[in-house]
Structure 1
Amino acid sequence: MIRAFACAVIAGAALNGAHADTVSVSVAANFTAPMQKIAAAFEADTGHKAELSFGATGKFYAQITNGAPFQILLAADDTTPARLEREGKAVPHSRFTYAIGTLVLWSAKEGTVDDQGAVLKTGDFKHLAIANPKLAPYGLAATQVMDKLGVAAALQPRLVQGENIAQTYQFVATGNAQLGFVALSQVMADGQVRSGSAWQVPASLHDPIRQDAVLLNPGKNSAAATALLTYLRGAKARAIIQSYGYSF
């Protein structure tokens, strides 16, 4: 079944030059920067255009189940695409992991966050930003980290919650929160943290952030949708994804 789907995807991609089309894609907020680059390369290479909407995976799930005509979901987790498949909202066997995310504790200021995360226990800060753990997998991962470190109760009064990981990043970038748990992809460029100070959270402190893609029912007959799913697994897209700190 999976092999048959992959063949169908490749066949669709082979035809895209003659039938350029547009695909509507809902994208987890943490994947904004890499997906913008991938979409530009995808259009240049195939002629197809990807219309991108960014936000929280939980909100996209609600919109999709209420009839939003997205053709592809690039989720921040692996449970939402699986759920959509089970509920008949997505094409069976179309789901795959396009990236594994990395959580970081980040401050826009140099020297605020140490390379072991000890600032969570000893630092002088007023606010710590996290994404809503009910909607954003990176927010859930942040709560798991605080629980494992034994600091959840002490930090509770200092938490500032963003609707999604993009808003959480903005809280920290603007200084409204002195530090926060964000996606490595939001603060990395060319393999380096662009500014400020950061602790890359060990993967052992939270559940894996497996980010799955799935072909939604409105996209099942779209050459552009199948072509984009193929493109995401290609060498050019993977190089872009890795440059933002994701793994596979």
Structure 2
Amino acid sequence: MRIRSPQLAVTALASLFTLNIAWADEVQVAVAANFTAPIQAIAQDFEKDTGHKLIAAYGATGQFYAQIKNGAPFEVFLAADDSTPAKLEQEHAIVPGSRFTYAIGTLALWSAKPGYVDDHGEVLKRSAYQHLAIANPKTAPYGLAATQVLDKLHLTEATRGKIVEGQNITQAYQFVSTGNAEVGFVALSQIYKDGQVASGSAWIVPSTLHEPIRQDAVILEKGKDNPAAKALVEYLKGPKAAALIKSYGYEI
């Protein structure tokens, strides 16, 4: 009978543990505010399935662009548009070939009050509300889409004095959810659960009223040597992440 040395067994276990730690990495991700809930859900599965850990920061796409250009330590960028990642690609600030569309966003007009917003957004034409929340159109693609909708509906002038701007789509949502604005344009993903609007009332804005909200992801230069960055991008392209993204009201 062969007797295995306890010391040898401990050494082997320690080596295995060391290899596992070396294999598991962290990835720093800049995430567009509208994608907060989906990426938090994806992060749990990603860590469980790959061993890598996702560390996310949330904000407006335009603000992230400025931070990235100023040397922020992000390794992957999940933007709320396709133009900002394309710009970074032109500036040679990403890993070549890493840019892809991970989601197509949907805009919604929402009120925390049940029955306040009708199915066709006619509430916008009434003068009953005092405040209309949108994200900053200069830095947040969902805010830009909101201004395009108002323009298409010929409501830009009529709503000019009612608009309150959030720094990003999360702040626009907070204005409405707290009652500081009776109604506002938000990302459908913020109010969507189990295939329906979870609370309040909403009009899902037809995509014909604004430019497509194509949301692109890239691996940034700082993530070119990080296996977790590449693993995250591949994971986002997989069926498990796709199903979860769709469950929040996005298209793929």
Question: TM-score range with shorter-chain normalisation?
Answer: over 0.9
**Is contact 1:39–1:49 with CA below 8 Å preserved after alignment?**
yes
Residue 222 (structure 1) shift: 0.8
Q: Does the 8 Å CA contact 1:130/1:180 hold for their aligned counterparts?
A: yes
Rounded Cα–Cα distance in structure 2 between residues aligned with 1:240 and 1:165: 20
**1:166 maps onto 2:181 in alignment:** no
Residue identity opposite 1:230 in structure 2: E
Kindly tell me: are residues 17 and 235 of structure 1, through their superposed partners in 2, closer, same or farther at Cα, counting changes over 3 Å? farther
| Secondary structure at the counterpart of residue 157 of structure 1 | coil
1:147 pairs, out of 131, 151, 157, with 151
- Residue ranges of structure 1 left out of the alignment (5+ in a row): 1-14
> 1:247, 1:179 → 2: CA distance?
24
Q: Deviations over 1:189-221 (max 9, x none)?
A: 111100000000000000000000001001011
Partners of 1:111 and 1:22 in 2: how far apart?
A: 44
CA contact (8 A) 1:16 1:223 kept: no
Letter in 2 for 1:173: S
Residues 34-64 of structure 1, C-alpha deviation per residue, up to 9 Å, x if partnerless? 0000011100111000000000000000000
Aligned residue pairs total: 234
RMSD over equivalenced CA pairs, Å: 1.3
Q: Distance in 2 between matches of 1:215 and 1:45?
A: 20
Higher relative contact order (CA 8 A, sep 6+): 1
Q: What does residue 31 of structure 1 align with?
A: 35
Match of 1:11 in 2: none
Partner of 1:57: 61
The one-letter code matched in structure 1 to 2:28 is: S
Matched, 1:245 2:223: no
The runs of at least 4 consecutive aligned structure 1 residues that moved more than 3 Å come to 15-18
Match of 1:98 among 93, 98, 102: 102
Cα 1:123–1:194 change in 2 (3 A) is: farther
Question: Deviation at 1:123?
Answer: 4.9
Determine which of 70, 73, 87 is the counterpart of 1:83: 87
Work out the percentage of aligned pairs sharing the same amino acid. 66
Q: Which residue of 1 aligns with 2:10?
A: none
